[in-house]
Chain A
Amino acid sequence: MLKIKRVPTVVSNYQKDEAADESVGCGRNCLGACCINGARLPLYACKNLEKTGAGEKLVLSHEAKEPPVAFLESLVLGEWEDRFQRGLFRYDVTACETKVIPGKYGFVAQLNEGRHLKKRPTEFRVDKVLQSFDGNKFNFTKVGQEELLFQFEAGEDGEVQFFPCMPIDPENSPSVVAINVSPIEYGHVLLIPRVLDCLPQRIDHKSLLLALHMAAEAANPYFRLGYNSLGAFATINHLHFQAYYLAMPFPLEKAPSKKMITTVKSVKISELPSYPVRSLLFEGGNSMKDLSDTVSDACVCLQNNNIPFNILISDCGRQIFLMPQCYAEKQALGEVSPEVLETQVNPAVWEISGHMVLKRKKDYEGASEENAWRLLAEASLSEERFKEVNDLIFEAIGCSNQEEEPEGTIVHQQNPSGSVNQKSNRTHGGPITNGTASECLVLQ
Chain B
Amino acid sequence: MSITESSESVFTTEEEESFSARYSLWIKEALDELPHNFTITDPFIPGHPIVFASPGFLKMSGYSREEVIGRNGRAFQGPKTNRRSVMEIREAIREERPVQVSILNYRKSGSPFWMLFHMIPVFGKSDGKVIHFVAVQVPISGQEHHRKMRNGSGLSGDMSDYSEMMFGSCRREVCFGHLVHQDRALPVEFDEQELENWEHCEASESEKLRAAEAISNVLSVLTRYSEFSGRLVCGKRYCLRGADCLSSSLVISLGRIKQSFVLTNPCLPDMPIVYASDAFLTLTGYKRQEVLGQNCRFLSGVDTDSSVLYEMKECILEGQPCTVQILNYSNRKDKSTFWNLLHISPVRNASGKTAYFVGVQVEASCRNTESKELRPETRQLSVVGAVRVAVRSSFMVTC
Residues of A within 8 A of B (CB): 56-57, 60-69, 71, 73-82, 85, 92, 94-100, 102, 106, 108, 161-164, 186-187, 221-222, 245-249, 253-254, 256-259, 262, 273, 283, 315, 318-319, 403-407
Contacts and interface: CB of A to CB of B under 8 A. Distances in A.
For chain B, the bracket of interface size reads 35 or more
Given A77-B384, A77-B385, A163-B372, 10 more contacts: A56-B79, A65-B71, A79-B381, A82-B377, A94-B352, A106-B398, A164-B373, A248-B94, A254-B87, A262-B173
A247 B348 contact: no
Contacts, number: 168
Contact of B49 (A65, A69, A94): A65
B292 interface: no
A75 B378 contact: yes
B256 A315 contact: no
Contacts of B3: 64
Contacts of B315: none
Interface string B191-220: 000000001000000000000000000000
Contacts of A106: 398
Interface in B245-270: 252-253, 255-258
19 contacts: A64-B72, A66-B74, A69-B386, A71-B374, A78-B374, A81-B384, A85-B345, A100-B396, A100-B398, A106-B398, A162-B374, A187-B385, A222-B393, A247-B392, A253-B87, A405-B160, A406-B159, A407-B159, A407-B175
Contacts of B164: 258-259
Q: Which of A63, A74, A254, A259 is the most central at the interface, judged by chain B CB atoms within 10 Å of its CB?
A: A74
B321 A85 contact: yes
Contact of A57 (B79, B167, B398): B79
Q: Which of B79, B83, B164, B372 is the most central at the interface, judged by chain A CB atoms within 10 Å of its CB?
A: B83
Q: Which of A62, A253, A315, A404 is the most central at the interface, judged by chain B CB atoms within 10 Å of its CB?
A: A62
Interface of B: 1-3, 46-49, 71-72, 74-75, 78-79, 83, 87, 90-91, 94, 157-160, 164-167, 173-175, 199, 252-253, 255-258, 321, 345, 347-348, 350-352, 371-375, 377-382, 384-386, 388-390, 392-394, 396-398
Nearest to A262: B173
The 6 A-B pairs with the shortest beta carbon distances in the complex, nearest first, are: A77-B385, A78-B382, A247-B393, A65-B47, A78-B378, A62-B2
Contacts of A187: 385, 389
Contacts of B90: 221
B91 A249 contact: yes
B47 A77 contact: no
B388 A94 contact: yes
